[in-house]
């Protein structure tokens, strides 16, 4: 595991050279918020990182319910039974293994590693505009129907789950990057993914933190280039 710090954000990257899977610890005044739960084997590294920082993890927010983002969820909940687990109202269905599409949603099949047999039930269901500590929830459907991003209101750091990837290059979810195609192959709806990417770029974040790849400082131009490329290919 590799730990990279930027302001109040710690990126925990597992297998960074081969198949980078990131989760994040957001430092608050007295506590930490964990964003995503990576892979099942990640639990020890997550706990060690929080101990090194010296603050307890009190919240766990899931950006979406794919297996590489919820893998250590049950183990973390077992070790930290008082932790509050949050996910979007829509992706709570996926967390429970339900891939049913809702009325009015595009008929694209839900792709990627939808988890099976997750025991943990979310304590809080999130909607756009909800806040947990310094983080504001931004709805960003596309990779999954209920994907969310999280904006740190203190410093404009933006944690996007798989709405973008930075492994290989900065790319919108759904655009295949040959050196790391997996987020694209797991994307539910490309058109919605592009619309969400535009929404996130309009926030002009100071930092882009994705589920796969390095953090990018002052990322707006790179995000817009990625959006333009995705739009051209969608046509």
pLDDT at 228: 97
pLDDT at 135: 98
pLDDT tens-place string over residues 175-232: 999 989 999 999 999 999 999 999 999 999 999 999 999 999 999 999 999 999 999 9
d(CA 151, CA 149): 7
Give the number of C-alpha atoms closer than 13 A to the C-alpha of residue 81, restricted to the C-beta side: 1
pLDDT at position 235 over 80: no
pLDDT at position 49 over 80: yes
For 231, list phi and psi in degrees, rounded to 5: -65, -40
d(CA 89, CA 182): 25
Residues 6+ apart with CB under 8 A from 34: 23, 24, 25, 26, 46, 50, 57, 59, 60, 61, 76, 83
- Which string of b and e fits 128-148 if b means at least 16 CB within 10 Å? eebebbbbbbbbbbbbbbbbb
Q: Is 155 helix (H, G, I), strand (E, B) or coil?
A: coil
Q: Any idea which of 70-74, 133-137, 230-234 has the lowest mean pLDDT?
A: 230-234
d(CA 168, CA 229): 15
Taking residues 149-168, report their average pLDDT: 97
Pair type for strands 84-88 and 57-61: parallel
* pLDDT averaged over every residue in the chain: 96
pLDDT at position 18 over 90: no
pLDDT at position 64 over 90: yes
Domains of the chain (ranges; CATH) run: 2-234 (3.60.15.10)
d(CA 151, CA 98): 28
Burial class (CB in 10 A: 0-12, 13-18, 19+), 79: middle
pTM of the model: 0.97
pLDDT at 234: 80
Strand order in the sheet with 21-27: 2-6, 9-14, 21-27, 32-35, 57-61, 84-88, 124-126
pLDDT tens-place string over residues 112-128: 999 999 999 999 999 99
């Amino acid at each position: 595991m590799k730990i990279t710090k930027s302001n109040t954000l710690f990126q925990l990257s597992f297998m960074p050279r081969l198949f980078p899977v990131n989760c994040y610890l957001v430092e608050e005044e007295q506590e930490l918020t964990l964003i995503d739960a990576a892979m099942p084997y990640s639990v020890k590294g997550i706990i060690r990182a929080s101990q090194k920082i010296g603050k307890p993890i009190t919240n766990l927010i899931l950006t979406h319910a794919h297996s590489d983002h919820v893998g250590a969820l049950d183990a973390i909940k077992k070790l930290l039974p008082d932790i509050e687990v949050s996910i979007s109202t829509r992706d709570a269905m996926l967390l429970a293994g339900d891939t049913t599409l809702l009325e009015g949603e595009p008929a694209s099949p839900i792709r990627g590693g939808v988890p099976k047999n997750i025991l943990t039930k979310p304590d809080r269901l999130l909607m756009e505009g909800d806040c947990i500590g310094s983080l504001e929830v931004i709805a960003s459907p596309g990779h999954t129907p209920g994907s969310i991003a999280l904006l740190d209101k203190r410093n404009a750091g933006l944690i996007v789950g798989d709405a973008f990837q930075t492994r290989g290059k900065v790319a919108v979810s759904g655009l295949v990057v040959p050196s790391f195609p997996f987020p694209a192959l797991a994307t539910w709806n490309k058109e919605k993914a592009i619309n969400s990417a535009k929404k996130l770029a309009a926030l002009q974040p100071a930092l882009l933190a994705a589920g796969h790849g390095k953090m990018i400082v002052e990322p707006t131009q790179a995000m817009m280039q990625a959006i333009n490329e995705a739009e051209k290919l969608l046509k």
